[in-house]
Amino acid sequence: MPLQQTSSQFRRTTRPVAEAMVSSGSPSANEIPFDYVSRFPLTGIRATRIQDVINISVEGAFVAVAIGYSFVPASLPILNEAIESSPSTPAEGIQAANQSHPLLSFIEPFVRPRSDSTPIDSPDGRQTQQLQFIKMFTECSLVKLCGINFRYSIVDSGSGRELQNQPIHNIAGLGESNGDRPFRPFAKPMIFLPRSTIRIEVEEISEGPLYEGAELYIVLHGYKMLGYGTAI
């Protein structure tokens, strides 16, 4: 009988302690999804290095859980010239561009069968539509075939931490620009305190007119902890 009373007393005395531990461990800061984006205007020149700095908001700490990127190719001037030259047919516009840029010859078989019969004064503007389609098809095909290659490095400027021992090739660290593994979760979520900075550097590998004037975006996916670290 004394043992039962002791056990009952023990349960009564420990229950409030357990409840207090749960309440004290609950988060005190509001968490909201948030992404930080870095934009890099490319030059199309190999070994060119471009930097961008992310400033963490004063509202609270940022926890990065994944990193991803996307690539916006440049508009090819040679295709714009083919459209603005106003040839009698779209195929002739491509032929004219091929004289100085033989690379475009690979799309000619796709457009010749139907475009030769379209006159320049077509009332519905079909020729212009076909040329725009050819331009879009060519740019998409080049992006699919060539993709993009670059190296990147990330440094937490606030603490001086480097997230790698040397720049990482994008395919090894992030994936390909065609959507195959276009993002990577961090091995462990990383917290960046308010007012700290993240410096991202990109070294261009891909070169040529497809990348001159193109845009590269690197995104840190995560969430904000509003109010956390603001008193530091």
- Helix (H) or strand (E) holding 224, with range, is strand 215-226
Q: Is 140 in the same domain as 94?
A: yes
Contact between residue 48 and residue 202 where contact means Cβ atoms under 8 Å apart: no
Q: Which domain does 50 fall in, by range? A: 30-74+147-226
**pLDDT: which is higher, 145 or 165:** 165
Residue that the structure tokens 């357990």 belong to: 18
CATH number where 203 lies: 2.60.120.230
For the chain, what is the domain count? Answer: 2
pLDDT in tens, 153-190: 999 987 888 989 999 999 888 887 665 666 789 999 99
Q: Is 151 in the same domain as 43?
A: yes
pLDDT band per the 50, 70, 90 thresholds, residue 49: very high
Q: Is 94 in the same domain as 132?
A: yes
Q: Is 165 in the same domain as 209?
A: yes
Terminal C-alpha separation, the chain:
55
Q: How many residues does the chain have?
A: 232
Bridge pairing between strands 161-162 and 183-192: unpaired
Residue 7 lies in a domain: no
DSSP state of 8: H
DSSP state of 75: P
Predicted pLDDT of residue 178: 61
Predicted pLDDT of residue 57: 93
pTM above 0.75, yes or no: no
pLDDT in tens, 5-16: 554 454 444 444
Three-class DSSP category at 47: coil
Query: How far apart are the C-alpha atoms of 160 and 156, rounded to whole Å?
Result: 5
Contact between residue 93 and residue 212 where contact means Cβ atoms under 8 Å apart: no
Q: Is 86 left (phi over 0), alpha (psi -120 to 50) or beta?
A: left
Predicted pLDDT of residue 208: 84
Listed in order, strand segments (DSSP E) in 8-148 are: 30-41, 49-55, 60-72
Least confidently predicted of 42-46, 88-92, 214-218: 88-92
Query: How far apart are the C-alpha atoms of 79 and 148, rounded to whole Å?
Result: 20
Task: Give a three-class secondary structure readout of 122-189.
Answer: CCCCHHHHHHHHHHHHHHHHHHHHHCCCEEEEEEECCCCEECCCCCEEHHHHCCCCCCCCCEEEEEEE
Over 90: is that where the pLDDT of 47 sits?
yes
pLDDT in tens, 84-122: 554 555 555 555 555 555 555 555 555 444 444 444 445
From the list 134, 126, 123, the residue with the least C-alpha distance to 79 is 134
Query: How far apart are the C-alpha atoms of 175 and 75, rounded to whole Å?
Result: 24
Predicted pLDDT of residue 202: 97
Contact between residue 69 and residue 37 where contact means Cβ atoms under 8 Å apart: no
Over 90: is that where the pLDDT of 141 sits?
no
Over 60: is that where the pLDDT of 50 sits?
yes
Residue 13 lies in a domain: no
Q: Is 112 in the same domain as 218?
A: no
Q: Is 86 in the same domain as 138?
A: yes
Residue 109 lies in a domain: yes
Average pLDDT, the chain: 74
